[in-house]
Chain A
Amino acid sequence: MNLVGAPIDRVDGRRKITGTARYAAETPLPGLTYAVMVESTIPAGTIAAVDAAAATRASGVIAVLTYENAPKVEQHKVAGMTDRNLPLLQDRIVRYDRQPVAVVVADTFERATDAASLVRIRYDTSVPALSLAHGSGYHPEHSHGDEPSVYERGNVDAAFAGADVKIDRTYTTPVEHHNPMEPHATVATWDGDVLTVYDATQGVFGTRSRLAVAFGIPPANVRVVCPFVGGGFGSKGSAWAHTVLAAMAARAVKRPVKLVLARPQMFGSVGYRPATIQRVTLGAKRDGTLVSTLHEVRSQTSIFDEFVEPSAELTKMLYAVPNVRTINTVVPLNAATPTFMRAPGESSGSFALESAMDELAYAVGLDPLEVRLRNHADSDPSKQLPFSSKSLRECYSVGAERFGWSRRVPRARSMRDGGLLVGMGVASATYPTNRSAASALVRLSSDGTAHVFAGTQDLGTGAYTVFSQVAAEELGIPVSSVRFELGDTNFPMGPVSGGSQTTASVGNAVSVAARSARDRAIGLALGDPQSSLHGHDADAIDVRDGRIFLRDRPDVGDTYAAILGRHPQGEIEERGDARPGDEKTAFSMHAFGAQFAEVRVDPELGTVRVVKMVGAFASGRILNAKTARSQYLGGMVWGLSMALHEITRTDARSGRIMNANLADYLVPVNKDVPSDFEAYIVPEDDPNVNPLGVKGIGEIGIVGAAAAIANAVYHATGTRVRDLPIQPEKLV
């Protein structure tokens, strides 16, 4: 049986398309009330006066919470990469535009919305810090995890000074908001001192600890439930203010409360990708081999918390460069706290680095692909460790072949299709393989089915499906006999679904738990005089289709159903715990890929149409080729979006976000996505990375995609756009 890897349909697909998959906002509870947040209309200052009288009097209104009457809660974070300081109506300070300043609870959503519009707040404004370019910044302690924010190997200044060819360019990326289809939503209900929260989250356990800290109750008193997520992209990786405020409101009105963010509020207090200003210098020999790389990253954070966009991490390891310096500077601004978004760091950083590599290719007169091959890192130059596996060369060659890279005429602005300019670009992709401790529980029943529980999340990525496949394969039963449940803190603990780590973390735990359950069932059969397998050796056993049998004599066997039917409880339960081993000290672990893009540019209008995109990715073992392909393609679409569409605009004078809606904040639609669009899975066997041999696939699809398109635009037009997004105005 080879269930793992099979491109099966998603097991939750039918529930989603028939509308029976229940999302947080759809949780029905008796006596439900509705909360609507009121947000600040200034970026900096203090609340001078609150007039909630009209709102309080409005029909159906149960409570209006402001800093004047909100219960005391802890708004500071405790620890952990995903925890944030939150504005929870505890003081009169306004730190950013769209900060929650009141919560209105009413008996219907419409009445709460209406009453929220009646809350009058007067502000004393102060001068906001709004400029990333000119604001004063600092070097944070870490750029990412334990990585120092200032890193150097060799001597960059000396090497750059002596280089034959020098590239010194500045690239910028704008603020971008995640905008998953499902808005953030929380339904909260209290039973005495016990809180249950149905939340749209990428981490039920992180949300649980945040709520426990906020209300000063034990984590065991908090249950967080999230069976489905309609997209997260990082924005649901942290517990934000609205989740705590919903629970606060539920406690205040002594009834269940639902709080769903309106689309404009998705631009408020749920994180975003911070703007970056990135200077990249490349020193190279005439043959295109790099002697030095400098990558300086300036990114914004909020005035009340720290988030670092780790754009230069990949620069440390992507190419074999002896002299490398990376520097992160963060500038606190009167804006909400930024957060992880779609390959934080790698996506924004690869735009800068891979654009610079393209500029180098033109400077030395080499094919951009050849320049990358000449600088290929056979081992990790920053950690000085071998890669657990690396198939980047194969990604380049498979991608180039499927894309038709050989069609490319080297000179910029040399290819045409009628009146349109044609361009082709390439970029490398990489993403680290992360893994955290995780657990799972497998229950085998006398009906021959397995019920598997894990406190993880499925963001739409296919977690339900691939974990069902893993459990089915280990147990030797069909996927249809596995019922997988996730998204509940009552289940064994799993990490946040971020950093592309869910499959590597939870998959290995499911595998361990399923194997334990299988072995225990085998043990029961071998020790059971009523079983035809009684007395045989466990090493001689195989399992297939729910049947345990002798490998050499398949006619001698027993079934799970029969074995457990004779068991006094009628079922057995096994828990599996999996955690990273010492592989991190022996290997550098990364997925790799190559992105190719072809564009048509209308020279009169400056409009860019991507007509072809090909990605080739090697991410270890692929558990389901179908869901994996969807992950890669989804990432590439967001890369296209980053290249051409997305930008959140803040008014330079008022500090207010100007385009908090999906008419003015552009995301790609079907018409924007090329019909010639494919992601290829480059086979890769990695025995070192983790027992399942999997690397993360959730984020690498976006890495390099924007650079490949930007490089294609340069090839088409001869105009280098170093400031995303590439809007038509920049090309005419």
Chain B
Amino acid sequence: MIPTKFEYAKPSSLDEAFALLAEHGPDAKLLAGGHSLIPMMKLRLAEPEMLIDLAGIPGLTGITVRDGRVSIGAMTKHATLAASEELRQHAPVLFEAANALGDPQVRNRGTIGGALANGDPGCDYAAVMLALDATFTVAGKGGTREEAASSFMVGMFETTLSPEEVLVGVSFAAAPASAYVKYAHPASGYPLVGAAVVLSMNGDAISEARVGVTGVGDHAFRAGSVEKALAGVRPSDRTALEGACAGSAAGVDVRSEPAAGAGYRSAMCDVYVSRAVLAATRG
């Protein structure tokens, strides 16, 4: 209920933040909204000695669309994404995820970078980033590096982000034919299954599909076999669509919990992937 004692700093530049990170090492935590971190601190599941608030650093927010590419600052709030007409047009999959995420309080404070860096196995955006084949921009003392979303996510609450780095932004190619649908936990709203789909169409048939799934395994994953099977499928052909989406969680160690056992969750994964494909086609 009461966190352990900690220091709070609000740097005004990334360099200041890096200095603080270097000084405190793994005892420091970055605050980027705090809707996961603060509750964890209250439960003493996290006990950082130094909390570095990124909210004072300029240049980390905003949505830019240029030459068919969408770039988003890590400190952009969910509510901003959820209200963005540009995003609705160029990447409905992310727009829908932002609207389906959390509640108004969470959306008004939480940020896309914070959610992704946290590595929660139920992170809605994780599936979206995989489906968008997004690139993450990570800044560190020695400069910035770029990493594919697919290699960034490693495991449950585990990413490739080192304790001295800051996720500063994500970017991806515009994806007008895309959608995100989720089966929300009835109390928490976290996805029991979240499915993100980005399509390229050739007439009324799918030429290429990218499918990201979250909430099912210990981290989000691409449903590779489904992506292959979807190529050439006409989504209006229900039987073909369901056939292509079958086994979407194959090979994944599916989580089991009271709200959804592993068998049920796997079955729902197929249903939601096919619903996401249909939603993306309606785009």
A and B interact? yes
Cα A659 to Cα B257 with chains together (Å): 10
Interface flag for A363 (CB, 8 Å): no
Cα A331 to Cα B258 with chains together (Å): 25
Cβ–Cβ < 8 Å partners of A649 in chain B? 258
- Which among B2, B258, B261, B264 is the interface contact of A664 at CB below 8 angstroms? B258
Pair A728/B264 contact, Cβ less than 8 Å: yes
Interface flag for A114 (CB, 8 Å): yes
Report if A658-B2 is in contact (Cβ < 8 Å); known contacts: A604-B271, A605-B271, A666-B186: no
Cβ–Cβ < 8 Å partners of B185 in chain A? 663
- Which among A114, A604, A663, A732 is the interface contact of B2 at CB below 8 angstroms? A114
Cα A729 to Cα B258 with chains together (Å): 10
With CB as the reference atom, state the residue of chain B lying closest to A730: B264
Pair B268/A605 contact, Cβ less than 8 Å: yes
Chain B 44-60: CB-based contact to A (< 8 A → 1; otherwise 0): 00000000000000000
With CB as the reference atom, state the residue of chain A lying closest to B274: A604
Report if A663-B187 is in contact (Cβ < 8 Å); known contacts: A110-B2, A604-B271, A728-B264: yes
Pair B264/A662 contact, Cβ less than 8 Å: no
Report if A664-B187 is in contact (Cβ < 8 Å); known contacts: A110-B1, A728-B264, A729-B261: yes
A63 to chain B, nearest CB (A): 21
Pair A729/B264 contact, Cβ less than 8 Å: yes
Interface centre among A110, A659, A729 (most CB of B within 10 A): A729
With CB as the reference atom, state the residue of chain B lying closest to A114: B2
Interface flag for B19 (CB, 8 Å): no
Q: List residues of B (228-270) whose CB comes within 8 Å of A's CBs.
A: 258-261, 263-264, 267-268
Pair A662/B271 contact, Cβ less than 8 Å: no
Interface flag for A113 (CB, 8 Å): yes
Cα A698 to Cα B186 with chains together (Å): 28
- Which among A114, A605, A658, A662 is the interface contact of B258 at CB below 8 angstroms? A658
A684 to chain B, nearest CB (A): 38
Q: List residues of B (179-193) whose CB comes within 8 Å of A's CBs.
A: 183, 185-188
- Which among A113, A647, A666, A732 is the interface contact of B187 at CB below 8 angstroms? A666
B239 to chain A, nearest CB (A): 14
Pair A662/B187 contact, Cβ less than 8 Å: yes
Q: List residues of A (549-587) whose CB comes within 8 Å of B's CBs.
A: none
Cα A25 to Cα B185 with chains together (Å): 32
With CB as the reference atom, state the residue of chain B lying closest to A729: B264
Report if A659-B258 is in contact (Cβ < 8 Å); known contacts: A110-B2, A605-B271: yes
Cα A647 to Cα B186 with chains together (Å): 14
Cβ–Cβ < 8 Å partners of A659 in chain B? 258
Cα A728 to Cα B264 with chains together (Å): 8
With CB as the reference atom, state the residue of chain A lying closest to B271: A604
Chain A 661-679: CB-based contact to B (< 8 A → 1; otherwise 0): 0111010000010000000
Pair B258/A732 contact, Cβ less than 8 Å: no
Cβ–Cβ < 8 Å partners of A605 in chain B? 183, 268, 271
Cα A506 to Cα B268 with chains together (Å): 53
Q: Which residues of A contact B (CB under 8 A)?
A: 110, 113-114, 604-606, 645, 647, 649, 658-659, 662-664, 666, 672, 728-729, 732
* 4 extra interface residue pairs, beta carbon distance < 8 Å, beyond A645-B186, A663-B187, A672-B186: A110-B1, A605-B268, A647-B258, A729-B260
Q: Which residues of B contact A (CB under 8 A)?
A: 1-2, 183, 185-188, 258-261, 263-264, 267-268, 271
Top-4 shortest CB links A-B: A729-B264, A663-B187, A604-B271, A663-B188
